[in-house]
Structure 1
Amino acid sequence: MATMTELSSTEEKNKYSQDTQVDEKLILRKAPSLCSTRYGIAFLAHLCNFTIMAQNVIMNISMVTMVNSTGHQSQFNNSTEGPPVDSFGGPNNAPKSLPAGKAPVYDWSPQIQGIIFGSINYGMLLTLVPGGYLAGRVGTKRVLGFSLFGSSILSLFTPLAADLGLVFLIATRLLQGLTQGSVFGGQFALWERWGPPHERSRLCSFALSGGIGCVCCLLWFVLVYDDPVSHPWINVTEKEYIISSLAQQVSSSKQSLPIKAVVRSLPFWSICFCSFSHLWLINIFIVYTPTYISSVFHVNIRDNGFLSALPFIVAWVIGVLGGHLADFLLTKNFRIVTVRKIATVLGILPPSAFLVALPYLTSSYITTMTLLTLACGLSSLCQTGVYINALDIAPRYSSFLTGAARGFAQIAAVLAPTVSGFLLSQDSEFGWRNVFLLMFAINLLGLLIYLIFGEGDVQDWAKERKLTRL
């Protein structure tokens, strides 16, 4: 016989199912879409991601003017001449003396710059998995809110840390990475409870596609709730639509995480390796786009800022449109795994090929910027592909699995700038070519693993367990 607790749980579940068995087509027609609470949640998540990314990449753009460009210009400009000797004779972490009123200039080599770029990812590597797990347990609202606040405060102290020295700057960015990891790892717990299956692609892509950090914290704590049931202002029809669409996927009972099954899951590991390869690509974009434009075409910082931002503006537009297209294909009875793999292929293969072609087109400014923009724009399609695949194969554990996959992939965010900085320092003539060829090889391998082992159906170990009979 089943235990009394199990019988009670079963009766409650049956009662819940009966209460939510409504005409879903009627609810869908009445439920608000664009002007709805769930899209408002996605917009706030978008603001949070935009803020975090801005705090993350501001160093990459500032680095163009922070470093002594004349001291290392030869290594970034395909010249065989060695860098001139540092006339100040100071250590790498000391700022150059400048007239009053001007910003300090630091003598950081390409290898040191790579370490600075990658330092923030060391912290993120440590908190992506705990952030995803904690958000699933105590709620996304608190985890993301406090993490965003901490990252925003540390961002304000970055200039002071740079003045204090290289060690202080790296330590500050490492601490900032600890707070940002909880944001990226924990936000997917929202879509377990807020995202109807056929809207997850657009909601996630809109949320992921992107000084306002502290303001955003206030909006987050006031307007965001962990699930539709606890939200005080949600439209009743929308609440019924979300709950009914998730009735078969989200259980009210808490089940322990099947660690052994997760470790043995090839679909999960395919997500990890593909995310690793794509994040290597993304970090090359984020970290080295300003430096590449400046070193090859000698563009001033004002124009460089706009040109460096242009690919990411296009990526935002393509990412949002890609989410809508993915959900549209799902409504036309395309298999989930097919949609995820198509989006991933388009988000990895063409961008990688475009970057490999860049070193051979350095004389063509327009062609180079076009390829950079197209590559960055298409790469955002992975937001509706591999990055949300954990919601498909294990909805009830998606927050932990997404955090674990992003944690594994974050190793690429640590290695990519460090290895790239080393390659640029060692080979002044073919440094950029080596950076892009290595990136292409890693991306191709990760994509092949995902195409072979990736799946879209809920795995057996992620399904609700049957009652134990006595």
Structure 2
Amino acid sequence: MDEKPSTKKGPGFCSLRYGLAFIMHFSNFTMITQRVSLSIAIVAMVNNTEQYNISNFSAERPLEDTASNCSTSIKEFNTGASVYKWSPETQGIIFSSINYGIMLTLIPSGYLAGIFGAKHILGAGLLISSLLTLFIPLAASFGVTFVIVLRTVQGMAQGMAWTGQFTIWAKWAPPLERSKLTSIAGSGVAFGSFIILCVGGLICQVLGWPFIFYIFGSSGCVCCLLWFMVIYDDPIHHPCISAGEKEHIVSSLAHQSSSSRRSIPMRAMARCLPLWAIFLGFFSHFWLCTIIITYLPTYISSVLHVNIRDSGVLSSLPFIAASSCTILGGQLADFLLSRNLLRLITVRKLFSSLGLLLPSICAMALPFVTSSYMTTITLLILIPGTSNLCDSGFIINTLDIAPRYSSFLMGISRGFGLMAGIISSTATGFLISQNSESGWRKVFFLSAAVNMFGLVFYLRFGKAKIQDWARKETITRL
């Protein structure tokens, strides 16, 4: 990106590359619904029939609704489904298990996607994850160990499906459209979180919690069919692309280094501070995001004291803002670049700053506004929304500094993020099991501290120029 990219206009919004972005949006939607489904279902799965204490309710809350909600036990929403005695510590391990699996395959799948093509590796991962989702209720009936093992294997499949996407964008996305295309695809994560949290509680109430897994596992299988029919690894071999769009994409990427040889300059990467800035950005970003995605239904249920149906609806609201901010942030970033209003590195650092600083402020304020229903909901909406501005910051920065190795580096980046997710999920379960009120305060303050560390490091060392080790062939091997 240190060389000026082509400014020639290609086909418009209805072009094939935008169609691929929406297909990838659907696949990300599917994977996150399969991942988050357990977060909403577990409220109904655990053996918790105690009445809620409403003595601390604010006058801002709908007292008539909450009084009736609090008298309804979670067992009433199971419609005959099994209930399990899983402690908060056990739930934290279950939530973390999928991250362990993803970490096992992130790096090798990103490397293999760069060699053999992302289409089949991503599609296989999506299919396996969808099939395993269908078997979660059966695994739960055999015991918590089976759930942990299944979720770990499911994580391995999702690890295959996450990182290879950047291999596709390295060949499909013109430099001045990268933020737009990746934000459209990435917004599927926020939109999927919104849908599963919005309807998950209703599914538990009407059909029983097992149907969350049946419904979204089946939708994943349908998505696989669409994926294999529409997605191709590069525009040159796609049978339906127009000659004009193909020429526009190929010419805009002509300055990027490419090679059939896939040796990895590991030593140069390990010494590259701009790359470490991206890694630590991912670590900080995923720390708080994992807590919000995983524990939001539990937080709303325990702090705001609402039933599983309303907990799911309230939990879905933050992801409306997240999905909108992801797309709007990408549009704004590319607008600033195309009009030459800001340099590329300035855009990356600006959106990284907004995506790490703003949610930290909101998280630190949460423990002090629990008496206010509306303020708490507002802050919970702002955290995922502002956090997703990072999608136009360091999250796509590997495409700027090393497009040849973007898939491999995205695997490592997400590995750092998932490492943060594992630690934060487990730590959150431990902290809130000791004391719920002080535990949540420690959780949010720790998250803000981690975010600030990642932001300061990225602002100091982040770059947007193609690194020397990413320009030329190297003899260094894995």
| 1:375 shift after superposition | 1.3
Residue in 2 aligned with 1:359?
367
State the one-letter code of the partner of 2:299.
Answer: Y
Residue 173 of structure 2 corresponds to: 195
Partner of 2:31: 52
2:138 aligned residue? 160
Alignment match, 1:238: 245
Of stretches 352-361 and 423-432 in structure 1, the one that deviates more from structure 2 is 423-432
Q: What is residue 292 of structure 1 aligned with on the other side?
A: 299
Structure 1 residues 72, 186: closer, same or farther in 2, change over 3 A? farther
In structure 2, the partner of 1:42 is: 21
CA distance, structure 2, for counterparts of residue 344 and residue 24 of structure 1: 25
Q: 1:122 is aligned with what amino acid?
A: Y
The one-character-per-residue Cα deviations of 1:369-403 (angstroms, maximum 9, x if unpaired) are 11110111111111111111000001111111111
- Amino acid paired to 1:55: Q
Name the residue aligned to 1:344.
352
CA contact (8 A) 1:131 1:403 kept: yes
Q: 2 CA distance for matches of 1:446 and 1:235?
A: 43
C-alpha contact (below 8 Å) 2:44/2:75 kept by paired residues: no
Q: Distance in 2 between matches of 1:397 and 1:183?
A: 17
Distance 1:99 1:391, change over 3 A: closer
Report how far residue 254 of structure 1 moved.
Answer: 2.7
In structure 2, do the counterparts of structure 1 residues 36 and 73 end up closer, same or farther at CA, with 3 Å as the change threshold? same
Partner of 1:93: none
What is the alpha-carbon distance in structure 1 between the residues aligned to residue 142 and residue 275 of structure 2?
A: 43
The match for 2:125 among 123, 147, 151 is 147
Q: Any conservation in 2 of the 1:340–1:385 contact (CA below 8 Å)?
A: yes
Match of residue 402, structure 1, among 406, 410, 413: 410
Work out the CA distance in 1 between the residues paired with 2:420 and 2:474.
Answer: 39
Matched positions, count:
423
Q: Please report how far the alpha carbon of residue 100 of structure 1 lies from its aligned counterpart in structure 2 after TM superposition.
A: 10
1:327 is aligned to 334
The answer for unaligned runs of 5 or more in structure 1 is: 1-22, 79-95
Is the Cα contact below 8 Å between 2:49 and 2:75 reproduced in 1?
Answer: no
Query: Are the aligned partners of 1:110 and 1:422 in contact in 2 as well (CA < 8 Å)?
Result: yes
Residue by residue over 1:246-272, the C-alpha shift from the partner in whole angstroms, topping out at 9 and shown as x without a partner, is 000142543521111011111111111
Kept in 1: contact 2:257–2:472 (CA 8 A): no
Q: 1:24-423 alignment to 2 at 5 Å? A: 28=9, 31-70=10-49, 101-210=79-188, 211=216, 212-333=219-340, 334-423=342-431
Read off the aligned partner of 1:251 and give its amino acid letter: S
> In structure 2, do the counterparts of structure 1 residues 439 and 319 end up closer, same or farther at CA, with 3 Å as the change threshold?
same
Partners of 2:276 and 2:124 lie apart in 1 by 30
Structure 2: which 5+ runs fail to align?
Answer: 58-73, 189-215
1:156 deviates by 0.3
State the distance in 2 between where 1:43 and 1:127 align.
Answer: 25
Per the TM alignment, residue 428 of structure 1 is displaced from its structure 2 partner at its CA by 3.7
TM superposition shift of 1:337: 1.1
CA–CA separation in structure 1 for the residues paired with 2:424 and 2:6: 47
- Cα distance between partner residues in 1 of 2:370 and 2:75: 34
Deviation for aligned residue 1:443:
0.9
Q: Report deviation, 1:305.
A: 1.3
Once the two structures are overlaid, the 10-residue window that deviates more, 207-216 or 458-467, is 458-467
2-structure distance, mates of 1:35, 1:97: 48
Q: Report the AA paired with residue 305 of structure 1.
A: G
Change (3 A) 1:285 1:429: closer
Structure-2 change in CA distance of 1:24 and 1:297 (3 Å): closer
In structure 1, distance between residues paired with 2:119 and 2:51? 45
- How far apart, CA to CA, are the structure 2 residues paired with 1:35 and 1:224? 16
CA distance, structure 1, for counterparts of residue 384 and residue 459 of structure 2: 21
Q: Which residue identity does 2:89 align to in structure 1?
A: Q
Deviations 1:214-258 (A, max 9, x none): 111111111110000000010110000000000001425435211
Q: Given residue 152 of structure 1, which amino acid in structure 2 is its aligned partner?
A: S
Deviations 1:184-209 (A, max 9, x none): 12111011100000100111111111
Shift of 1:429: 3.8
What code does the residue aligned with 1:137 have?
Answer: I
Partner residue in 2 for 1:439:
447
Alpha-carbon distance between aligned partners in 1 of 2:438 and 2:429, rounded to the nearest angstrom: 13
3-state SS of paired residue (1:251)? coil
SS at the partner of 1:106? coil
Query: Which residue of 2 is the match for residue 15 of structure 1?
Result: none
Q: CA deviation at 1:150?
A: 0.1
CA contact (8 A) 2:111 2:408 kept: yes
**Is contact 1:270-1:449 (8 Å) kept?**
yes
Letter in 2 for 1:209: S
Q: Percent identity?
A: 54
Larger Rg: 1
CA RMSD after TM alignment: 2.2
CA contact (8 A) 2:265 2:474 kept: no
Contact 1:97 1:104 in 2 (8 A): no
Contact 2:402 2:470 in 1 (8 A): yes
1:155-206 deviation per Cα after TM superposition (whole angstroms, max 9, x unaligned)? 0000111111000010010010000011112111011100000100111111
> 1:326 touches 1:384 (CA, 8 Å); kept in 2?
yes
Read off the aligned partner of 1:110 and give its amino acid letter.
P
Aligned partners of 2:470, 2:357: CA distance in 1, in Å? 31
Residues 283 and 417 of structure 1 are in contact (CA less than 8 Å); yes or no, is this contact kept in structure 2? yes
